[in-house]
Chains A and B, each alone.
Chain A
Amino acid sequence: MTFLVVALQSEARPLVGHFRLSGTDAPGPYRLYRNDRITLVVSGIGRIACAAATAYAFARAGEPRNQPWVNIGIAGHANIALGSARLAHRIVDRPTERAWYPSLVFEPPVATAEVVTVDRPELDLPGNALFDMEASAFFATASRFGAVELVQVLKVVSDNRESPVAKIDKALVSRLIEGHLESVAAILDETEALALRLDRRSPDLTEWRRTARFSVSQSRRLAELLERLEVVEKRALSPLELPRLEGAREILAALERRLRLRGAAY
């Protein structure tokens, strides 16, 4: 499952349409849209709302680890043209001055830039950074849910020194996001491909648990041995293939023996 986090309903609208997401009826503090591939949450403006909505989407989905997380939204910049998009290569949380550096392990579909997250709209737009109100909170939260390489922030310039923040309205926001649906799709393709590399199917222990009672640490050892045997023997092992054994300890010992016999070749 890929997760998109946006602050505004007007940012969500083009994404919901493009990816054919449906609103969920379930009551909850944040609006969610979904299909088989994507969950989109609308957080509201600001760091606290964004962190909470990100955590909420994670919990609602059953806490799946190592999934792509992308924050999409508008931002201001001193002089980058309205409607240009940037992927964050550095995110600074202005209130704390903490910094994060998203890992860009794929060819970015748009140029990259620094994003500074502030608590009040930044009217002066100093330096060469984009200014937003959510990215740092999003990144700090979503990077707890798995590999940080899957967490990305895409911002579209909505205001600059020539076109101040006061000119922004809902229709403009939707239009700006709509102009970068291809970039969003490219980021999703890339991060989903990365997530696939981390997709590990743990061995199914159900049958094994029927044959004996395994403590937590024994279950962990069992899973490790079965995983290793599956690589070595190139197929999953069933408990029926072992001679009748009494208890978890004996089973683990038998699996260890079996692994030893299979050798240590590479």
Chain B
Amino acid sequence: MASRSIARVYVETEVASRPRALEILDRLGGAERVECSRYTEVFNRRAQNFRLQKLRPALILARKHRGLVLPAPPGYGVGGRRNFYFSHMLNCVYDCRYCFLQGMYRSANYVVFVNYEDFLAAFERRLEEAPGEDVWFFSGYDCDSLALDSLTGFVAEFLPFFAERPRAWLELRTKSTQIRGLLDREPIPNCVVAFSFTPEEAHARLERGVPSIARRLAAMTELATRGWRLGVRLDPLLWAEDFADQYRRLLDRIFGAVSPASLHSVSLGPFRLPPDFYRRMRRLMPEERLFAGALETVEGMVSYPAELEREMTAFVTAELERRVPADVLFPCVETR
């Protein structure tokens, strides 16, 4: 388990005696504890190197003061009109070469915001702003939603809120197989557990530490059997000479294992990075073929050349249309 390799925990003095912080510290056993006044003293300081920190990430327990729930970027969503995202955690135990967190943060340390009740209060406010409407809350933008769940207890603490509020929708986006917290409770219809996939070849080359496709599919089938609703996220779409074959094989595997009845939504997302993220990532991984190749800046984003992106999106969308009902398919791509 990733949490076993955490050797050091920085704790904001303000949260040091909170029960949730103490529980997490307790679960970490022998990890050394260092107090700090704000997590930003440790996290994302100038001259920190993400790749070096990734060798031995520390954990930071903090309180999130502002921006607990933010409007989701355009194109992010699976049919809802009101979309928000939130991050109870920053950074991820996995190490995907394409992960934009490396461009966003200078630090690879994990930050867990332990003031869960403030997140729930912020959800409540968003729901009150839209009486009678469904509101979506997406988790897994700045982290993997489930990978550290056994340490953070995130699922156990957040799900009861959604269970009592049917118009509050939760998406847990993940590449993890840490589903114990979900299996331990009754499924709720307004929660979607969305698993991300790239083809086997990309997984082997670019997704370090990420559970195999087979294990993720096994987790999905187990959740489906218990009545949980599932999402499939083909994000990012990664190009290769034989991308068509790669994606066809991947889709055969996914939809061979996951029954259409359990599917809430299937979406895809192109590989796009803000230019400053791209520059930083290339500097961190100058030897990485993914960043060295023919990427272009199109409409303020570094991405595959528009033509390639269109070709891939069209191909994968068509393949999905053959496999899943139209009402669960959300291609989510603004075409160029």
Q: Footprint of B on A, CB under 8 Å? A: 89-90, 99, 101, 103-107, 112, 114, 143-144, 146-149, 194, 197-198, 200, 227-229, 231-232, 259-266
Expressed in whole angstroms, the Cα–Cα distance for A266 and B239 within the complex equals 7
A-B contact count (CB 8 A): 103
Q: Which of B48, B51, B286, B294 contacts A263 (CB 8 A)?
A: B294
> Closest Cβ of chain B: how far from A105's Cβ, in Å?
4
Expressed in whole angstroms, the Cα–Cα distance for A266 and B240 within the complex equals 7
Task: Known pairs A99-B41, A262-B293, A265-B240; list 16 more (Cβ under 8 Å).
Answer: A99-B37, A101-B41, A103-B48, A105-B56, A106-B55, A149-B48, A149-B49, A149-B52, A149-B53, A227-B286, A232-B292, A263-B239, A263-B241, A264-B239, A264-B294, A266-B97
Expressed in whole angstroms, the Cα–Cα distance for A161 and B214 within the complex equals 61
Answer whether residue B66 sits at the interface, using C-beta atoms and an 8 A cutoff. no
A266 touching B206 by the CB < 8 A rule? yes
Answer whether residue B8 sits at the interface, using C-beta atoms and an 8 A cutoff. yes
Answer whether residue B304 sits at the interface, using C-beta atoms and an 8 A cutoff. yes
**With A231-B287, A266-B238: A89-B34 Cβ-Cβ less than 8 Å:** yes
Q: Which of B36, B49, B239 contacts A90 (CB 8 A)?
A: B36
A266 touching B10 by the CB < 8 A rule? no
For B241, the closest partner residue in chain A by CB is: A265
> Closest Cβ of chain A: how far from B221's Cβ, in Å?
29
Q: Which of A197, A227, A228, A232 contacts B52 (CB 8 A)?
A: A197
For B205, the closest partner residue in chain A by CB is: A266
A148 touching B45 by the CB < 8 A rule? yes
| Residues in B neighbouring A194, C-beta threshold 8 A | 52, 55
Answer whether residue B26 sits at the interface, using C-beta atoms and an 8 A cutoff. no
Expressed in whole angstroms, the Cα–Cα distance for A114 and B287 within the complex equals 37
| Residues in A neighbouring B45, C-beta threshold 8 A | 101, 148
B295 touching A264 by the CB < 8 A rule? yes
> Closest Cβ of chain A: how far from B197's Cβ, in Å?
15
Expressed in whole angstroms, the Cα–Cα distance for A229 and B293 within the complex equals 8
B305 touching A260 by the CB < 8 A rule? yes
For A225, the closest partner residue in chain B by CB is: B292
**With A90-B36, A99-B41: A264-B308 Cβ-Cβ less than 8 Å:** yes
A99 touching B36 by the CB < 8 A rule? yes
B293 touching A148 by the CB < 8 A rule? no
Expressed in whole angstroms, the Cα–Cα distance for A259 and B282 within the complex equals 15
Expressed in whole angstroms, the Cα–Cα distance for A193 and B49 within the complex equals 14
Q: How large is the interface on B (under 10, 10 to 19, 20 to 34, 35 or more residues)?
A: 35 or more
A263 touching B52 by the CB < 8 A rule? no
Answer whether residue B289 sits at the interface, using C-beta atoms and an 8 A cutoff. yes
| Residues in B neighbouring A231, C-beta threshold 8 A | 286-289, 292
Expressed in whole angstroms, the Cα–Cα distance for A99 and B304 within the complex equals 43
B293 touching A228 by the CB < 8 A rule? yes
For A224, the closest partner residue in chain B by CB is: B282
| Residues in A neighbouring B250, C-beta threshold 8 A | none
B304 touching A264 by the CB < 8 A rule? yes
A232 touching B48 by the CB < 8 A rule? no
> Closest Cβ of chain A: how far from B201's Cβ, in Å?
9
A101 touching B53 by the CB < 8 A rule? no
B48 touching A148 by the CB < 8 A rule? yes
| Residues in B neighbouring A107, C-beta threshold 8 A | 7, 56
For B54, the closest partner residue in chain A by CB is: A105
> Closest Cβ of chain A: how far from B141's Cβ, in Å?
23
A105 touching B34 by the CB < 8 A rule? no
Answer whether residue B42 sits at the interface, using C-beta atoms and an 8 A cutoff. yes
Expressed in whole angstroms, the Cα–Cα distance for A198 and B53 within the complex equals 12
Answer whether residue B290 sits at the interface, using C-beta atoms and an 8 A cutoff. yes
For A229, the closest partner residue in chain B by CB is: B292
A89 touching B32 by the CB < 8 A rule? yes
Q: Which of B7, B36, B49 contacts A148 (CB 8 A)?
A: B49
Q: Which 3 A-B pairs have the closest CB atoms?
A: A231-B292, A228-B292, A266-B290
> Closest Cβ of chain B: how far from A66's Cβ, in Å?
9
Q: Which of B49, B58, B241, B305 contacts A198 (CB 8 A)?
A: B49
**With A89-B8, A198-B49, A200-B286: A227-B292 Cβ-Cβ less than 8 Å:** yes
